[in-house]
């Protein structure tokens, strides 16, 4: 029994302790931990066939011919189809976003005339068994005419844009002939006359942070179970997706089906991380179901995820900062060049990450002059998708490396220069446009340095150096914009909720959010329970069924705590109003005199004059019914819908070209202690600290888990994970043996500290949470490693931090330091 249950209504006149703010145990965990989850492939369907996809072995090639006849003749094969054959039955993939003059490839889910990356689908089969389906792939004869592979930005443009921002370009080959070049988007804006500020600034520092290509690796890869009913012309699909509603829209459009005839179901999703925010290969099993008349199961092999999954990072960033003598940041100029692979807007949604990187490079610091240029370049690698961080880690690495560089050059303590520049007054309109609605940046940095006992660590560091050991300390701040809302895209800015109390007094919430492991079933139930005076266990959260739930936008950009929770809060508030009104009528008092909690409503100060919520609900719906209980109400049952939007989002570029895509801003600070073996390049991470502020915390245990999880993913990406290609665009990391995910032994102790600075724009004060560790961890690790190698005079600005690269920094260092024996 928890503290809440032990109270009785008579204990207090102010009502019971709210569930919001408590570590309510996650509703979903019992089924997940006991193997009762319903992931896509768990679905049992009648007489299924299995889909397998033939993928291109070439990074760039023209398809001369595809012959499926040998495969089609195999005994267990039901259907084999080429891209050209499929093109007769579907449309090209509609773009998930279309803004800022971005170029959009015109491609089908199965390539027709050309392949643009190793792993692009060129044919598909369905067969009676998975074995037979995979056997059949070997019997599909494809003739390719290989084209020169564009494996890098230099290949794509002939010159790096840092050296010639406007060309002229001399591409090794052009991916999409109709573009005439390989730049998908070129976006620039400036404000506050930055060039003049730079020209007169006492100090100008610059750095070139760069990140390698990596991405999320969810336990459940892409998966679909599709059933087509030819009589009704309906398609029922289970999809492992973060966006069930937009998936339905896009799939219906691609297949030419009426949207109401398509149902997308996503019960348990085995990992999202932003990776499952597109419709690409998912439509292939749907078409196969329509053409074969059989239920089709498709479960993507791990190697296919790695070769075709939406990849991330893979950029180079040139950042300059103008500083005054006292360390005041005066202006930022940045140039971000992203290697998107073959596409970041149609097949998947990574392009926006580069725009975010180019918008938020001031981080949590005050600056009034800002100039950004972002170039998104296409190459013959897998598509560029969303992944936890979504450019916010790019921005953070840039500004934090800049702060460290400036601190060293100006002889200012690295923590002091940050404190000097942190934004302290809110709301704060950033030079680049977004409005940071609230925050406690300076206090967060204090929290971290105090928890670290920074002076003691510095002393230990000196002692270690005297012994020839290289200990490094990193301290950074980070900004965590959340609830991304991109105009002209499937990632828009609203969320829906439908809340109802049923006649038995229990509540049902239909949310447009999507559960992907982040605990929305629990946190939304806590909010609803508080509003309706119920226990969270009496609130059923329904999502992931387009047939049941009003159109909503799902899970991406840490939007749940901003959009999803606020929609539920407001809808539940309307139900609460009607519940109290009905109860007031039944008790013959004013609604204002009533209190609500623990499933009951009672007269304040007279706890014996009470009704159960169930009694009120039954009265409203059935006995006697709404005419008696809610007379005059326009919608006289205990149900309400709400669509929540936000005024801090601005679609239309202003006169400087700026937009506001994130309404809420979490923040944090991080610290780390590392020791570098300068002879081998190995890094030992001793301990990490992270202070975090996501506004009002609904469930501390869930927030804690999000922070730890994102920190470990940030660490894995910075240290171990890598999608590596050779110079012919061939993927070198096709298994998890080579693409190394962080294991438990690689994770240092992580101390999490919390602060709550409520957001003034959400009704509960909540802000998004989930990406912070991914945003700050790369910067804090690079900062610490540079600190450890300070006597060598090296700059650490590129990832991954693997032993070979760290050793190369030392070997090629401008200064040499004595090494212990």
Partner 1 sequence: MRTTSFDYTRATSIDEALGALASGAQVLAGGQSLLQSMKLRQASPQHLVDINELDELRAVDLEDGGLRLGALTRIAELCVIAEVAAMFPSLQQAAKLTADVQVRNRATIGGNLCFANPRSNMASTLISLRAEVTVRSDGGSRRLAVEELFSGYLQTVLSSGDLLTDVHLPDPGRDARGAYREISRQPNGVPVVNVAVAVAEGRVTGIGVGGLGVRPLRARLVEEALTHVDVNDPRAVDEAAALLAGDLASTEPLSDMHGSAEYRLEAAVVLLRRLVLATTNERG
Single out the segment in contact with partner 1 by CB under 8 A; choices: 83-91, 378-386, 543-551, 737-745: 737-745
Q: How far is the CB of 630 from partner 1 (least distance, A)?
A: 59
Residue of 646, 733, 766, 795 interacting with partner 1 (CB under 8 A): 733
Residue of 2, 743, 815, 816 interacting with partner 1 (CB under 8 A): 743
Single out the segment in contact with partner 1 by CB under 8 A; choices: 38-46, 406-414, 521-529, 736-744: 736-744
Structure token digits, residue 388: 């936890």
Q: Is 735 in the site for partner 1 (CB under 8 A)?
A: yes
Single out the segment in contact with partner 1 by CB under 8 A; choices: 12-20, 95-103, 607-615, 716-724: 716-724
Nearer to partner 1, 136 or 332 (CB): 136
Residue of 682, 760, 815, 816 interacting with partner 1 (CB under 8 A): 682
Nearer to partner 1, 170 or 737 (CB): 737
Q: Is 719 in the site for partner 1 (CB under 8 A)?
A: yes
Nearest to 112 by CA among 121, 103, 104: 121
Task: Calculate Rg over the CA atoms of the chain.
Answer: 28
Single out the segment in contact with partner 1 by CB under 8 A; choices: 359-367, 567-575, 726-734, 785-793: 726-734
Residue of 15, 158, 301, 607 interacting with partner 1 (CB under 8 A): 301
Q: Is 468 left (phi over 0), alpha (psi -120 to 50) or beta?
A: left
Cα 280 → chain centroid: 18
How would you classify the pairing of strands 121-127 and 435-436?
unpaired
- Interaction mask 244-263, partner 1, x per CB under 8 A: --------------------
Q: Is 722 in the site for partner 1 (CB under 8 A)?
A: yes
Distances 574 to 253, 287, 436, 568, 815 between C-alpha atoms, Å = 35, 43, 29, 10, 68
Q: Using CB under 8 A, count the residues that bind partner 1.
A: 33
Are the CB atoms for 293 and 170 separated by under 8 Å?
Answer: no
Query: Within 157-216, which residues bind partner 1 (CB under 8 A)?
Result: none
Q: What is the DSSP string of 735-794?
A: STTTSPPP-GGGPPPEEEEEE----TTSTT-B---S-HHHHHHHHHHHHHHHHHTGGGT-
How would you classify the pairing of strands 507-511 and 495-501?
antiparallel
Are the CB atoms for 10 and 607 separated by under 8 Å?
Answer: yes
- Give every CB contact of residue 589 below 8 A, 6+ residues apart in sequence: 603, 609
Q: How far is the CB of 71 from partner 1 (least distance, A)?
A: 15
145 vs 671: CA distance, rounded Å: 52
Distances 394 to 313, 315, 353, 721 between C-alpha atoms, Å = 8, 9, 9, 17
Cα three-residue angle 27-29-35, rounded to 5 degrees:
130
Nearer to partner 1, 439 or 681 (CB): 681
Single out the segment in contact with partner 1 by CB under 8 A; choices: 231-239, 377-385, 675-683, 763-771: 675-683
Q: Is 816 in the site for partner 1 (CB under 8 A)?
A: no
Q: How far is the CB of 739 from partner 1 (least distance, A)?
A: 10
Structure token digits, residue 442: 């300076």
Q: Is 798 in the site for partner 1 (CB under 8 A)?
A: no
Phi and psi angles of residue 54, each rounded to the nearest 5 degrees, phi first? -85, 130
Nearest to 268 by CA among 521, 480, 581, 49: 521
Q: How far is the CB of 727 from partner 1 (least distance, A)?
A: 12
Q: Is 720 in the site for partner 1 (CB under 8 A)?
A: yes
3-state secondary structure of 92: coil
- Interaction mask 121-150, partner 1, x per CB under 8 A: ---------xx--xx--x------------
Query: Within 744-773, which residues bind partner 1 (CB under 8 A)?
Result: 745-746
Residue of 742, 748, 758, 763 interacting with partner 1 (CB under 8 A): 742
Sign of the C-alpha dihedral computed for residues 620, 626, 629 and 633 taken in this order = positive
Report helix, strand and coil shares of the chain as percent, to nearest 5: 30, 25, 45
Nearer to partner 1, 145 or 738 (CB): 738
Q: Is 597 in the site for partner 1 (CB under 8 A)?
A: no
Residue of 738, 760, 793, 815 interacting with partner 1 (CB under 8 A): 738
Residue of 6, 608, 737, 812 interacting with partner 1 (CB under 8 A): 737
Residue ranges binding partner 1 (CB under 8 A)? 130-131, 134-135, 138, 301, 303, 679-682, 719-720, 722, 724, 732-735, 737-738, 740, 742-743, 745-746, 802-804, 807-808, 811, 821
């Amino acid at each position: 029994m928890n503290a809440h249950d032990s109270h009785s209504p008579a204990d207090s006149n102010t009502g019971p302790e709210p569930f919001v703010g408590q570590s309510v145990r996650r509703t979903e965990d019992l089924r997940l931990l006991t193997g009762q989850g319903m992931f896509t492939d768990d679905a049992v369907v009648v007489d299924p066939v299995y889909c397998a996809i033939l993928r291109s072995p070439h990074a760039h090639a023209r398809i001369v011919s595809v012959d499926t006849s040998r495969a089609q003749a195999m005994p267990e094969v039901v259907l084999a189809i080429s891209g050209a054959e499929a093109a007769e039955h579907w449309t090209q993939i509609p773009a998930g976003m279309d803004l800022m003059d971005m170029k959009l490839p015109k491609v089908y889910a199965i390539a027709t005339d050309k392949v643009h990356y190793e792993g692009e689908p060129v044919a598909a089969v369905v067969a009676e068994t998975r074995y037979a389906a995979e056997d059949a792939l070997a019997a599909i004869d494809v003739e390719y005419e290989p084209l020169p592979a564009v494996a890098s930005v230099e290949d794509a443009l002939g010159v790096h844009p840092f050296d010639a921002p406007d060309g002229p370009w001399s591409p090794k080959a052009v991916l999409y002939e109709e573009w005439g070049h390989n730049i998908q988007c070129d976006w620039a804006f400036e404000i506050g006359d930055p060039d003049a500020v730079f020209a007169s600034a006492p100090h100008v520092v610059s750095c070139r942070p760069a990140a390698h290509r990596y991405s999320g690796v969810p336990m459940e890869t892409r998966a679909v179970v599709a059933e087509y009913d030819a009589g009704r012309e309906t398609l029922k699909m289970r999809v492992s997706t973060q966006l069930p509603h937009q998936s339905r829209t896009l799939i219906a459009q691609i297949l030419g089906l009426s949207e109401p005839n398509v149902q997308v179901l996503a019960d348990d999703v085995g990992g999202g991380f932003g990776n499952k925010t597109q419709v690409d290969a998912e439509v292939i099993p749907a078409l196969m179901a329509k053409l074969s008349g059989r239920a089709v199961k498709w479960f993507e092999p791990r190697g296919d995820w790695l070769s075709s999954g939406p990849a991330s990072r893979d950029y180079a960033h040139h950042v300059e900062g103008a500083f005054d003598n006292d360390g005041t940041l005066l202006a930022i100029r940045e140039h971000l060049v992203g290697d998107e692979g073959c596409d970041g807007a149609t097949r998947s949604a990574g392009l926006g990450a580069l725009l975010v990187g180019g918008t938020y490079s001031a981080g949590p610091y005050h600056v009034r002059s800002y100039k950004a240029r972002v170039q998104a370049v296409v190459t013959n690698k897998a598509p560029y998708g969303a992944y936890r961080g979504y450019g916010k880690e790019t921005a953070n690495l840039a500004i934090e490396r800049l702060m460290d560089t400036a601190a060293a050059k100006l002889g200012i303590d690295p923590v002091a220069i940050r404190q000097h520049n942190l934004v302290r007054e809110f709301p704060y309109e950033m030079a680049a446009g977004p409005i940071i609605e609230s925050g406690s940046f300076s206090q967060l940095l204090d929290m971290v340095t105090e928890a670290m006992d920074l002076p003691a660590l510095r002393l230990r560091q000196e002692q270690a150096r005297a012994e020839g050991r290289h200990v490094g300390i990193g301290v950074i701040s980070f900004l965590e914009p959340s609830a991304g809302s991109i105009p002209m895209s499937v990632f828009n800015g609203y969320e829906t909720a439908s809340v109802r109390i049923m006649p038995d007094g229990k509540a049902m919430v239909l949310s447009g959010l999507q559960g992907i492991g982040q605990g929305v079933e629990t946190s939304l139930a806590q909010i609803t329970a508080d509003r309706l005076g119920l226990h969270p266990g009496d609130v059923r959260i329904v999502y992931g069924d387009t047939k049941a739930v009003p159109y909503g936008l799902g899970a991406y950009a840490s939007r749940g705590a901003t959009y999803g929770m606020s929609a539920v809060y407001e809808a539940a508030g309307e139900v609460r109003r009607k519940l109290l009104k009905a109860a007031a009528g039944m008790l013959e008092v004013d609604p204002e005199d009533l209190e609500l909690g623990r499933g009951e409503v009672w007269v304040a100060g007279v706890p014996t004059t009470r009704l159960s919520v169930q009694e009120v609900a039954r009265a409203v719906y059935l006995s006697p019914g709404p005419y008696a209980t809610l007379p005059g109400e326009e919608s006289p049952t205990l149900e309400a819908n709400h669509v929540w939007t936000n005024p801090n989002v601005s679609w239309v570029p202003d006169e400087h070209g700026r937009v506001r895509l994130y309404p809420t801003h979490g923040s944090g600070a991080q610290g780390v202690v590392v020791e570098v073996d300068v002879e081998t390049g190995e890094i030992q991470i001793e301990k990490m600290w992270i202070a975090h502020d996501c506004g009002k915390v609904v469930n501390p245990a869930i927030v804690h888990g999000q922070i730890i999880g994102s920190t470990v993913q940030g660490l894995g990406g910075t240290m171990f994970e890598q999608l590596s290609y050779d110079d012919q665009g061939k993927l070198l990391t096709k298994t998890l043996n080579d693409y190394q995910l962080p294991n438990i032994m690689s994770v240092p102790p992580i101390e999490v500290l919390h602060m709550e600075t409520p957001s003034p724009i959400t009704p509960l004060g909540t802000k998004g949470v989930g990406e912070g560790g991914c945003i700050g961890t790369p910067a804090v690790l690079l900062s610490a490693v540079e600190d450890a190698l300070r006597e060598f005079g090296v700059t650490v600005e590129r990832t991954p931090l693997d032993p070979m690269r760290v050793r190369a920094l030392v070997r090629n260092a401008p200064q040499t330091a004595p090494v212990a024996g």
